[in-house]
Amino acid sequence: MDLLGKYLNVIQQCDKEISWPDDVEDIVYLTNPEHYVLPLEKAYAFASKTLLDLLVKDRDLIGENSRFVLIFLTHHKAYS
């Protein structure tokens, strides 16, 4: 779950506004750590989906990756 905070930090650094889902629950202190599993899994799923949408849709990761592969293959071919 360490990635959850990192994902949200990347989203924040990209100046992306986050609209949280309506079913967000406040986390209250409980003695049994198992009570935290479901809220943390929901938060992780939301953060990873939001980051993926940011990279693929907003930042055109697929297009950038295709250009990088083309440049790499062209460069590699020149030295073969």
Q: Which residue ranges make up each domain of the chain?
A: 2-78
**Residue 71: what pLDDT?**
79
Residue labelled with tokens 């198992």: 34
State residue 24's pLDDT score.
76
The residue-averaged pLDDT of 63-68 equals 77
Instruction: Give the whole-number percent of the chain exceeding pLDDT 90.
Output: 5
Alpha carbon distance 50, 19 (integer Å): 10
Q: What is the pLDDT of residue 1?
A: 56
